Chains A and B, each alone.
Chain A
Amino acid sequence: MNTIDATEHYETSAHDRPPSLLTIIVDTNPHAWALLNPTLPLSTAIANILVFLNAHLACNYANEVAVVASHTHKATWLYPVEPTSTNNNNSKDTDGDITMHSQAPSPHPPSSTSINKYRPFRIVEEQVSSTLHTLMSSTTPDSLAATTSTMMAGALTLALSHINRRTIAWNEAHGGDVANPNEPHNPTSSSTSSSATNARGTPESTLQSRILILSVSSSTGSAHQYIPIMNAIFACQRLHIPIDVCKLSGDAVFLQQASDATRGVYMALEEPRGLLQYLMMGFLPDQRSRRHLVLPTRVDVDFRAACFCHRRVVDVGFVCSICLSIFCEPLGDGVCLTCGSRLDMSDYGAKPAVVARKKKKKKVKANGPSATGTPTSTPTPGP
């Protein structure tokens, strides 16, 4: 078809590298940012992130970005913002004008520099700062007092849903993986196999997505989010989406595993003031470039598990064969605390027969060489 109407050379998917979608999850936990304030205030960090987003957008004209805030009591989108019922407008993605209208009565009228700014940059900057402002102003002291953790699992799930949507849309637009291109409406084949196509098809042919987590909170509060976070990590692993982690403060055990499992970059910043440089140097390259780079990954990942009974971190644990709960010590009454099934301790505590035999052999061996060894060793000092 394309050869006939001479549009063949406009075909981008065949020759051009596909665009990449960068989703940044910003941990906006106010507790942690208050601690970081002397070295890196949130406003500076956001400014740095915006520069980084612009750099990503500048890499390829079709590149996309998305920003999710993982706050203390909810996870929410910073960019792109869905049109809510208050400023109800349709088609927010394709038509940037609408956001301009809602931005127009903002307290800071656009200066002459922002008018001359590259349009995609300006849209992202304006939306991110305005939605972040709304988020912060809607945070009440009560909700802050309630919890100190962050909704990382929700933010990851939102990011994944968005990536899924964009991948389907991109495939439909470019006919990349749609099994039956003659059929215009084929959402089934693209989405049923959305996991499968990404796994099977060449990664070159689809939208390349990656997630960057800017972590400041400790993971201690997110112990109850363990399973959702793990589910999200496995989803990323199946879809070949690397999770990059940029840790500014706190202790993020699950996120170490996340970047390790998905082959992402893990960096713990010693000097948070250099955030922008770290971002630009470590996190800007996309999957295609990363194959040629030596990535700053972490080598000693903490894989130890937390037991379900005391939340102790164990390296040898007892696992219920029914529900796979981990316990740090053999259960007294033999009933699993999670699923309540009766468990027998197979052969725990039974002494292995090997130990006794080995001792005997060793004794025999120890006697043997020593008996012959002493005569041979004595002559050597002789001469």
Chain B
Amino acid sequence: MADSDEEYIGEISEDEGESNIPRGSRGETVFRSKRRKHRGGAEWEVSRTWETLVEGADGTISSTVEGLLEAGKRKRLLRDTTPLQRGIIRHLILVLDLSQSMAEKDLRPTRYLLALRYAQEFVREFFEQNPISQLGVLGLRDGLAIRVSDMSGNPTEHISAIQSLRDQDPKGLPSLQNGLEMARGALFHTPSHGTREILVIFGSLLSSDPGDIHQTITTLINDKIRVGIVGLAAQVAICRELCDKTNGGDDTAYGVALNEQHFRDLVMNVTTPPATYSQKQTTSSLLMMGFPSRTVEAYPSLCACHSTPSRGGYLCSRCNSKVCGLPAECPSCGLTLILSTHLARSYHHLFPLMNWVEVPWQRASDSAVCFACGLPFPPVPPKEQWQVTEGQTKGMSVSSRYECTVCNNHFCIDCDLFAHEVVHNCPGCQSGVLTHTKPESQEVLDSMNISA
């Protein structure tokens, strides 16, 4: 999770466009930031990844480009599948910089509009990934922290609140300390079994604070609040220190956006639930929850949460009050009401799909097409050519085949990506089709499914 390098497709920053790189090499510069180790640094300016490209036998670079693309996809996939203890029930405050530095146009259309758009996408994706979490939005403007929307579990409220910011203009200076203090106040009452996080989208290079921000950092550490920052301009020392200290010495929570795509990736990375560091940080507890069924009445009646008349709704399984949307807390008896599908949505974080392994040419003849989608694989070349193609790019399969270690079926890169990022199921394992080599793995599969 920590390593989230991305490729930059088609995005060429302005200084590079003006420099005297010949036209033909534009495509190659695309891959330049592959090797970057540290985010937020400035070393991207001197990396020359186009020099690493090797011409193919036919004098073109298309094979290398394709290989790099595939390797890039694969790299993003290869995350750690160790089942970590993750904080599924999250409490997060999103702090948006609404100061005058957000009016800059280095990110198109402006930093302000782009940040608001990504913030809305973030809210949607956050609740997609963390359905039983709570979110609140704050803004930094004119040296003050302003409340944009309160802590709640309803994405539409936040999105409409962020939407209404579009009509206003960014102005004044930001105060990081005020924002952090207000966020700390909002997170103060959250229960101990959930995580407490702050995500700041910070476009300025300064923070005009009323007091000592280091004291705020200390109180944040005491309250076990983690802070992540996405910077838009350049690295700011206090931001790095803040992320470093509140994340237990891990400063990967601080990232500076290089371009629009990178900005989006940095923000979206936060939607994945964070790993829990120690046993002590959260006290786990057994939560009582209600699973109400939906009812539709013949005549509209008032719902207990908003007092608006509606026909459809969910009846609290303990006190039978009607709420109009889920997840919610019953307004009359306080029981957490949730759909079992909300819980199930988080299961893929808890039971992740194993990474698939590359298939060397030796075993490639087992399959001619992708098991899931039927895409034909490249044919197996004669044995003497095996060595030539091998060792091109790390992480990528020479035979374009990827194998599930449980069911031993071969898949193409697109299905690999799709299975790991979208479905979180292995088509082969779920279809019960096992190749002849492992007759005993059916039992393994069954026991896995039952334990899951």
User: A-side interface residues toward B, CB under 8 Å?
Assistant: 73-77, 80, 82-85, 88, 90-93, 151, 153-155, 157-158, 160-162, 164-165, 168, 179-180, 183, 185-189, 191-192, 194-195, 224-228, 230-235, 238-239, 257, 261, 299-306, 314-324, 326-327, 330-331, 334, 336, 338, 341-346, 348
Pairwise interchain contact A191-B414, C-beta atoms closer than 8 A: yes
Spot the interface stretch: B98-106, B137-145, B219-227, B334-342. B334-342
**CB < 8 Å: which of A164, A192, A301, A316 contacts B317?**
A316
**For this complex, into which size category does the number of interface residues on chain B fall?**
35 or more
Q: How far is the CB of A233 from chain B (nearest CB, A)?
A: 8
Give bound CA distance, A331 to B284, whole Å. Answer: 14
Pairwise interchain contact A161-B372, C-beta atoms closer than 8 A: yes
Residue numbers in B under 8 Å from A257 (CB-CB): 341
**CB < 8 Å: which of B290, B340, B426 contacts A316?**
B290
Most-contacted residue by chain A among B65, B85, B432 (CB, 10 A): B432
Pairwise interchain contact A154-B427, C-beta atoms closer than 8 A: yes
Give bound CA distance, A164 to B374, whole Å. Answer: 12
Pairwise interchain contact A180-B10, C-beta atoms closer than 8 A: yes
Give bound CA distance, A90 to B415, whole Å. Answer: 19
Closest to B287 in A: A319
Residue numbers in A under 8 Å from B351 (CB-CB): 227
Pairwise interchain contact B294-A299, C-beta atoms closer than 8 A: yes
Give the 4 A-B CB pairs with smallest separation, nearest first.
A154-B431, A305-B340, A154-B430, A161-B372
**CB < 8 Å: which of B27, B294, B344, B418 contacts A160?**
B418
Pairwise interchain contact A188-B373, C-beta atoms closer than 8 A: no
Pairwise interchain contact B295-A187, C-beta atoms closer than 8 A: no
**CB < 8 Å: which of B65, B294, B317, B419 contacts A300?**
B294
Give bound CA distance, A306 to B374, whole Å. Answer: 36
Pairwise interchain contact A85-B289, C-beta atoms closer than 8 A: no
**CB < 8 Å: which of A77, A324, A345 contacts B343?**
A324
Q: Is B347 an interface residue (CB 8 A)?
A: yes
Pairwise interchain contact B285-A324, C-beta atoms closer than 8 A: no
Q: Is B275 an interface residue (CB 8 A)?
A: no
Contacts A305-B343, A316-B318, A324-B346 given; does A191 touch B286 at CB 8 Å: no
Residue numbers in B under 8 Å from A195 (CB-CB): 421-422
Q: How far is the CB of A185 from chain B (nearest CB, A)?
A: 6
Extra 6 A-B pairs, beta carbons < 8 Å, given A161-B419, A261-B341, A346-B285:
A77-B374, A92-B374, A157-B426, A224-B449, A320-B284, A321-B285
Residue numbers in A under 8 Å from B44 (CB-CB): none
Give bound CA distance, A80 to B285, whole Å. Answer: 50
Residue numbers in A under 8 Å from B54 (CB-CB): none
**CB < 8 Å: which of B89, B287, B415, B446 contacts A318?**
B287
Pairwise interchain contact A155-B431, C-beta atoms closer than 8 A: yes
Give bound CA distance, A165 to B431, whole Å. Answer: 18
Give bound CA distance, A88 to B351, whole Å. Answer: 37
Residue numbers in B under 8 Å from A91 (CB-CB): 376
Q: How far is the CB of A331 from chain B (nearest CB, A)?
A: 7
Pairwise interchain contact B343-A188, C-beta atoms closer than 8 A: no
Give bound CA distance, A4 to B425, whole Å. Answer: 47
Spot the interface stretch: B14-22, B66-74, B229-237, B354-362. B66-74
Pairwise interchain contact B373-A165, C-beta atoms closer than 8 A: yes
